[in-house]
C-alpha cells in the first residue's frame, strides 16, 4: 500500500498527467488530499473526461434480487443494522432453499438477472444455534451452505449468483467459483484507526485491512471477477481513502480482476453505536469519486449507489462514475433498509437528462467474458453468454423492463 510521501505534486500537474493517460504515482495520488472546492471541481471535470474516453455515454445498472442468506454474524460493526443475534432472528436463522428459490424465481419473472447473496461473517464461529442449523442440514460452515445455495440458483433459475460473503480463504473462493461469475467484498478502508479502541471495527475481526486485502488478492490469483470498494465517512481521512484506492489499484495491476469499485457513503442508522455520527458529506463523496477515477484510470468501472443519495444521485455522473450498481424491483436493500431503490423510470430519466444512456448489465462486466475465456469456467461462460447481447449487456436492454420494473 502507498504511504504518504514527503512531498507532493501540484494538483494541476496531476490532472494534466491523468488527462494524458499516464498512471499516477503515489506522490501524485496523495497530492489530491489538499484539494479545495475549486480543485475538486477540476478533478471532477478531468475524471468525467477520462470516463468518457473509454465508457462513452453508457451508464449501467444490474437488475437484481437481494438474498440475505443469514443476518447472523460474528462481527460487531458500529454502523450496522443488518446483523442479528439468534434471539432477534428467531426461526429465520438462515433462508431455506425454498425461500431462496421463491425470491429468485420471482425476480427472474420481473426481468432480473442477478441474485446478490449477502450474509454475516462466519456466524457458526460465534453462535451454537448457527452450527446446529447447518449441521442438521449436512453443512459444516456457512460458506458451504452458500455454495449450495448459489448452485441451486444457478441451476434452477435464470439468475446469475453474485456472492458477497465477507473474507474468504482460497479453498472457499475456489468452491464458490463454479457457481458465481463474479464475487465481491468491500475493502471499506485500509485505515488502522477504524479497528483501534473506540473505532467502528474494534469488535469486527473480519474488518482488519490485511485480512480483506488477502481475500482480494486470492480472488485475483484464482481469476475471479471481483467487486470491491470503500466506505467513506466512518472516521477515515482523505489520506486513508487514497491509500485504500492505491491498494485496490495495485492488486488490480497484478491480476486484472477488479471489475468494479464502489464508492459508498456512510449513513447513520438508529440503534447503532454511530447513530449520532454525521452522514458523509456530498462534497467529500464527489472528491472521493473523482480521486478514484484519477487513480484507477479510464478503464475502471466506478459505482455510487443511487439509493444512498436519493435526492441528487445524478450529480456523481459529473465526478466520473459509469454504474449505479444493483437495483431491485422486488427486494429492499437489506443493508440500508431505510433507503429505497430508485424507480427504474426515474433512474433512466435522470441518467438521460445528464447526457447518458442507461443499460442493464449482468453481475459480471462484459470485459470479463466477451472475447475472453480467462475468467469464467466453461459452464458459466455458456450461461452468461446466453443472457447477454453481442456487447455483453442484458439481452433485450431497457425494453425488457418496460412493464415489469
For the record, the C-alpha cell of 273 comes out as 453505536
For the record, the C-alpha cell of 195 comes out as 479497528
**Residue 9: predicted pLDDT:** 84
Q: Does 3 map to a domain? A: no
- DSSP assignment of 273-335: TTTTSPPPPHHHHHHHHHHHHHHH-TT--EE--GGGGTTTGGGGGGGT--EEEEE-SSS--SS
Q: Please determine, for residue 126, whether its predicted confidence score (pLDDT) is greater than 90.
A: yes
> Cα–Cα distance between 273 and 285 in angstroms, integer?
22
Query: Which pLDDT tens digit goes with each residue over 82-94?
Result: 999 999 999 999 9
**Residue 133: predicted pLDDT:** 98
* Model confidence band, residue 256 (pLDDT cutoffs 50, 70, 90): very high
Cα 99 to Cα 69, 105, 312: the distances in Å are 10, 10, 35
Which of 3-12, 61-70, 226-235 comes out lowest in average pLDDT? Answer: 3-12
What is the total residue count of the chain?
A: 405
Q: Are residues 113 and 387 in contact, defined by beta-carbon separation less than 8 angstroms?
A: yes
Which is more confident, 365 or 399?
365
Q: Alpha helices, DSSP H only, in 110-259?
A: 128-136, 142-156, 170-176, 209-221, 238-255
Which strand (E) or helix (H) includes residue 355? none
* Nearest to 290, CA basis, from 60, 52, 41: 41
Q: Does 172 map to a domain? A: no
> Cα–Cα distance between 273 and 338 in angstroms, integer?
17
> 338: domain range?
49-63+185-401
Please tell me the total count of domains within the chain. Answer: 1
3-state secondary structure of 302: strand
> Cα–Cα distance between 111 and 62 in angstroms, integer?
11
* Nearest to 62, CA basis, from 263, 323, 369, 360: 360
Q: Does 154 map to a domain? A: no
pTM: 0.96
Which is more confident, 276 or 1?
276
Q: Does 77 map to a domain? A: no
Q: Give phi and psi for 152, each to the nearest 5.
A: -60, -50
Q: Does 289 map to a domain? A: yes
Q: Does 283 map to a domain? A: yes
Q: Please determine, for residue 397, whether its predicted confidence score (pLDDT) is greater than 60.
A: yes
Q: If you average pLDDT over every residue of the chain, what do you get?
A: 95
For the record, the C-alpha cell of 196 comes out as 483501534
Q: Please determine, for residue 6, whether its predicted confidence score (pLDDT) is greater than 70.
A: no
* Model confidence band, residue 8 (pLDDT cutoffs 50, 70, 90): confident
Q: Does 275 map to a domain? A: yes
Q: What CATH number corresponds to the domain at position 312?
A: 3.20.20.70
The predicted model gives 104-114 an average pLDDT of 96
Q: Does 389 map to a domain? A: yes
Q: Give phi and psi for 92, each to the nearest 5.
A: -100, 55
Q: Are residues 227 and 64 in contact, defined by beta-carbon separation less than 8 angstroms?
A: no
Amino acid at each position: 500500500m502507498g504511504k504518504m510521501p514527503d512531498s507532493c505534486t501540484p494538483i494541476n500537474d496531476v490532472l494534466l498527467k491523468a488527462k494524458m493517460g499516464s498512471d499516477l504515482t503515489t506522490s501524485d495520488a496523495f497530492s489530491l488530499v489538499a484539494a479545495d472546492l475549486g480543485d475538486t471541481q477540476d478533478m471532477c471535470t478531468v475524471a468525467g473526461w477520462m470516463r468518457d474516453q473509454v465508457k462513452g455515454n453508457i451508464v449501467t445498472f444490474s437488475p437484481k434480487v437481494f438474498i440475505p442468506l443469514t443476518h447472523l454474524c460474528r462481527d460487531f460493526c458500529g454502523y450496522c443494522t443488518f446483523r442479528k443475534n439468534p434471539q432477534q432472528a428467531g426461526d429465520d436463522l438462515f433462508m431455506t432453499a425454498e425461500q431462496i428459490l421463491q425470491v429468485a424465481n420471482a425476480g427472474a419473472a420481473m426481468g432480473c438477472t442477478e441474485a446478490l447473496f449477502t450474509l454475516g461473517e462466519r456466524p457458526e464461529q460465534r453462535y451454537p444455534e448457527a452450527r446446529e442449523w447447518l449441521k442438521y442440514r449436512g453443512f459444516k460452515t456457512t460458506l458451504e451452505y452458500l455454495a449450495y445455495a448459489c448452485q441451486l440458483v444457478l441451476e434452477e433459475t435464470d439468475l446469475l449468483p453474485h456472492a458477497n460473503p465477507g473474507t474468504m480463504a482460497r479453498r472457499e473462493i475456489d468452491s464458490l467459483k463454479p457457481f458465481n461469475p463474479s464475487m465481491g467484498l468491500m475493502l471499506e478502508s485500509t485505515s488502522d484507526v477504524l479497528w483501534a479502541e473506540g473505532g467502528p471495527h474494534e469488535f469486527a475481526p473480519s474488518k482488519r485491512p490485511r485480512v480483506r486485502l488477502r481475500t482480494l488478492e486470492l480472488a485475483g490469483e484464482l481469476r475471479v471477477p471481483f467487486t470491491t470498494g470503500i466506505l467513506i465517512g466512518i472516521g477515515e481521512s482523505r489520506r486513508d481513502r487514497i491509500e485504500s484506492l492505491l491498494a485496490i489499484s495495485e492488486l488490480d495491476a497484478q491480476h486484472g480482476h477488479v471489475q468494479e469499485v464502489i464508492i459508498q457513503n456512510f449513513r447513520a442508522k438508529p440503534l447503532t453505536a454511530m447513530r449520532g455520527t454525521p452522514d458523509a458529506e456530498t462534497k467529500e463523496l464527489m472528491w472521493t469519486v473523482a480521486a478514484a477515477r484519477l487513480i484507477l484510470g479510464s478503464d475502471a468501472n466506478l459505482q455510487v449507489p443511487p439509493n444512498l443519495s436519493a435526492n441528487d444521485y445524478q450529480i456523481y455522473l459529473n465526478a466520473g462514475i459509469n454504474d449505479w450498481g444493483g437495483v431491485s424491483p422486488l427486494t429492499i436493500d437489506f443493508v440500508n433498509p431505510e433507503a429505497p431503490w430508485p424507480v427504474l423510470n426515474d433512474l433512466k430519466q435522470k441518467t438521460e437528462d445528464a447526457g447518458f444512456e442507461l443499460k442493464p448489465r449482468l453481475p459480471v462486466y462484459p470485459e470479463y467474458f466477451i472475447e475472453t475465456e480467462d475468467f469464467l469456467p466453461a459452464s458459466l461462460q455458456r450461461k452468461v453468454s446466453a443472457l447477454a447481447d453481442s456487447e455483453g449487456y442484458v439481452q433485450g436492454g431497457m425494453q425488457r423492463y418496460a412493464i415489469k420494473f
